[in-house]
């Protein structure tokens, strides 16, 4: 057993760190909140950072780093480990990483899309020019996605889409919907929906903001009223949408922002070293030390699972159970980190960005609020545990 990175991988990390540090604005740390594990404070989804995010992604694209894991025939380096290293570095600096386009749309198009779709979308995703949002959830279809009602009806060379999506993160700062729509109302539920791409500027598509618990506009509700798309924008086979969504899921799971946890822990340790309460250093308090130690241990386990999942993908194995475990652990770790951080900061942990007295740019108070979104978004913790129990452990599916 060999446990470590190659020289090339270590050099790549250094190059990535130098690059990101050189590109971020000087006040980025004061402004970008991004609570690890949460979905409501990701800078890339905020209009305030839109211009910077787009420019930064184009620079990542120019370096060939948005498609690191893609096969060489599509301009990639076929390296999941490098992608995982880059993900670690980008999230550590709370920098844009390409979101749904990079972690879901591109891998699915590569695996399931036809040549025309690959030619049209892969180069633009690789260049940081085509952003996607995820159009799965509906007001009455979340965990039970197969209950979705948004319809796509064939009409000549086109599909006509009607319906509504909700909790659509980043729809307001991207170009395309990665949409699941019902295409066969008579088929069994899991063979009734199709994955398709819908340009946000298609006539009949309306995006309305939803302001999240932190006060940010991170998600939306999106309405489809007789929206027409060419049939060539179907991804994979018609009525095989659920199969393709499952296929892509394992790649999405590496997008867990592992570095953002490391950063928060470092900042908290520094805060505990530098802060005195009643003339005593915070770092000397047993409960503070115990909390920081627990965070460090949990983070180490999380990292191990992260690298293991990347290694499995790199060597052609399917990390189904590991992928669910990563999602589950990362988002629940986000809650643990938030609760521990508030405890470590004491009353200061309740101050958000509006207060000049707030430590760590008010990140802790907002993170506490955002942390509850993690175990819900992208498949709840209960659903992840069910996947691990059934597909991982082979237990029978419950009622
Ligand atoms: C911040 C945030 C961002 C999001 N972004 C997007 C996005 O970009 N695109 C998108 O399509 N969706 C998005 N979502 C929606 C998210 O995917 C759904 O909220 C999630 O799948 C749960 O669905 P639901 O809200 O309908 O809850 P429900 O499915 O109604 O679940 C309610 C509760 O019941 C539990 N439950 C449900 N079914 C089972 C079961 N079979 N066994 C055990 N427990 C069960 C759930 O775990 C949960 O605790 C986002 C959500 C959040 C919070």
pLDDT computed for residue 247 by the predictor: 80
Out of 146, 167, 371, 381, mutate this one to test ligand 1's pocket (max ligand atoms within 8 Å of CB): namely 167
Superfamily grouping for domain 133-247: Butyryl-CoA Dehydrogenase, subunit A, domain 2 (2.40.110.10)
CATH of domain 256-392: 1.20.140.10
Q: pLDDT tens for the chain, 399 residues: list them.
A: 778 999 999 999 999 999 999 999 999 999 999 999 999 999 999 999 999 999 999 999 999 999 999 999 999 998 999 999 999 999 999 999 999 999 999 999 999 999 999 999 999 999 999 999 999 999 999 999 999 999 999 999 999 999 999 999 999 999 999 999 999 999 999 999 999 999 999 999 999 999 999 999 999 999 999 999 999 999 999 999 999 988 877 667 788 999 999 999 999 999 999 999 889 999 999 999 999 999 999 999 999 999 999 999 889 888 888 888 999 999 999 999 999 999 999 999 999 888 999 999 999 999 999 999 999 998 999 999 999 999 889 999 876
Residue 78 to residue 12: CA distance in whole angstroms: 14
Closest ligand 1 atom, residue 170 Cα? 8
- Contact status, residue 143 vs residue 377, Cβ threshold 8 Å: no
Q: How far is the CA of 380 from the centre of ligand 1 (A)?
A: 6
Ranges in the chain annotated CATH 2.40.110.10? 133-247
**Rounded to two decimals, what is the model's pTM?**
0.96
Q: How far is the CA of 194 from the centre of ligand 1 (A)?
A: 20
Q: How far is the CA of 372 from the centre of ligand 1 (A)?
A: 12
Q: How far is the CA of 374 from the centre of ligand 1 (A)?
A: 10
pLDDT computed for residue 280 by the predictor: 92
Q: How far is the CA of 378 from the centre of ligand 1 (A)?
A: 7
Q: For residue 38, give both structure tokens.
A: 């949460």
pLDDT computed for residue 225 by the predictor: 98
Q: How far is the CA of 206 from the centre of ligand 1 (A)?
A: 22
Ranges in the chain annotated CATH 1.10.540.10? 7-131
CB of 40 sitting under 6 A from ligand 1: yes
Closest ligand 1 atom, residue 134 Cα? 9
CA-closest residue to ligand 1 atom 22? 142
Out of 101, 136, 142, 144, mutate this one to test ligand 1's pocket (max ligand atoms within 8 Å of CB): namely 142
pLDDT computed for residue 342 by the predictor: 96
Q: How far is the CA of 167 from the centre of ligand 1 (A)?
A: 9
pLDDT computed for residue 254 by the predictor: 83
Q: How far is the CA of 147 from the centre of ligand 1 (A)?
A: 13
The neighbouring-strand residues paired with 176 are 132, 199
- CA neighbours within 13 Å on the CB side: how many for 287? 7
pLDDT computed for residue 61 by the predictor: 97
| CA-wise closest residue to 342 among 262, 382, 287, 393 | 287
CB of 136 sitting under 6 A from ligand 1: yes
CA-closest residue to ligand 1 atom 3? 377
pLDDT computed for residue 397 by the predictor: 84
CB of 142 sitting under 6 A from ligand 1: yes
CATH of domain 7-131: 1.10.540.10
pLDDT computed for residue 246 by the predictor: 84
Rounded to 5°, the CA angle 352-358-359 comes to: 120
CB of 147 sitting under 6 A from ligand 1: no
Q: How far is the CA of 379 from the centre of ligand 1 (A)?
A: 6
CB of 384 sitting under 6 A from ligand 1: no
pLDDT computed for residue 399 by the predictor: 62
Q: How far is the CA of 299 from the centre of ligand 1 (A)?
A: 25
Ranges in the chain annotated CATH 1.20.140.10? 256-392
pLDDT computed for residue 291 by the predictor: 97
Beta-carbon contacts of 56 under 8 Å, excluding residues fewer than 6 positions away, are: 23, 95, 96, 128
CA-closest residue to ligand 1 atom 52? 377
pLDDT computed for residue 137 by the predictor: 97
DSSP string, 23-67: HS-TTHHHH----TT-SS--GGG-GGGHHHHHHHHHHHHHTT-TT
């Amino acid at each position: 057993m060999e446990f470590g990175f190659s020289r090339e991988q270590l050099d790549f990390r250094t190059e990535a760190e130098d690059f990101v540090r050189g590109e971020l604005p000087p006040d980025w740390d004061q402004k970008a909140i991004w609570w690890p594990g949460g979905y409501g404070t990701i800078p890339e989804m905020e209009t305030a950072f839109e211009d910077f995010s787009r420019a930064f992604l184009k620079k990542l694209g120019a370096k060939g780093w948005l498609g690191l894991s893609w096969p060489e025939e599509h301009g990639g380096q076929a390296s999941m480990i490098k992608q995982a290293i880059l993900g670690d570095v980008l999230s550590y600096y709370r920098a844009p990483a390409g979101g749904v386009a990079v972690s879901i749309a591109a891998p699915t198009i590569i695996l399931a899309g036809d040549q025309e779709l690959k030619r049209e979308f892969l180069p633009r995703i690789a260049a940081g020019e085509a952003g996607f949002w995820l159009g799965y959830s509906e007001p009455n279809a979340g965990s039970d996605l197969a209950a979705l009602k948004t319809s796509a009806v064939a009409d000549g060379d086109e599909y006509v889409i009607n319906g509504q999506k909700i909790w659509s993160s980043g729809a307001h700062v991207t170009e395309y919907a990665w949409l699941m729509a019902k295409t066969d109302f008579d088929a069994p539920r899991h063979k009734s929906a199709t994955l398709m791409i819908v340009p946000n500027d298609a006539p009949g598509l309306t995006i309305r903001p939803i302001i999240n618990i932190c006060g940010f506009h991170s998600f939306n509700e999106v309405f489809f009223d007789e929206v027409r798309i060419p049939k060539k924008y179907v991804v994979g086979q018609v009525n095989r949408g659920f199969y393709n969504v499952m296929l892509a899921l394992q790649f999405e799971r590496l997008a867990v922002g592992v570095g953002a946890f490391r950063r928060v822990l470092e900042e908290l340790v520094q805060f505990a070293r530098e802060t005195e309460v009643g003339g005593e250093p915070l770092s000397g308090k047993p409960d503070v030390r115990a909390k920081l130690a627990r965070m460090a241990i949990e983070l180490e386990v999380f990292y191990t699972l992260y690298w293991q999942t990347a290694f499995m993908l790199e060597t052609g194995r399917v990390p189904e159970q590991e992928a669910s475990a990563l999602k589950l652990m990362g988002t629940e770790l986000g809650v643990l980190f938030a609760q521990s951080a508030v405890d470590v900061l004491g009353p200061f942990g309740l101050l958000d960005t509006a207060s000049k007295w707030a430590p760590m740019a008010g990140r802790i108070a907002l993170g506490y609020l955002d942390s509850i979104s993690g175990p819900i978004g992208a498949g709840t913790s209960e659903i992840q545990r069910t996947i691990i129990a059934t597909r991982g452990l082979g237990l029978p599916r419950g009622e």
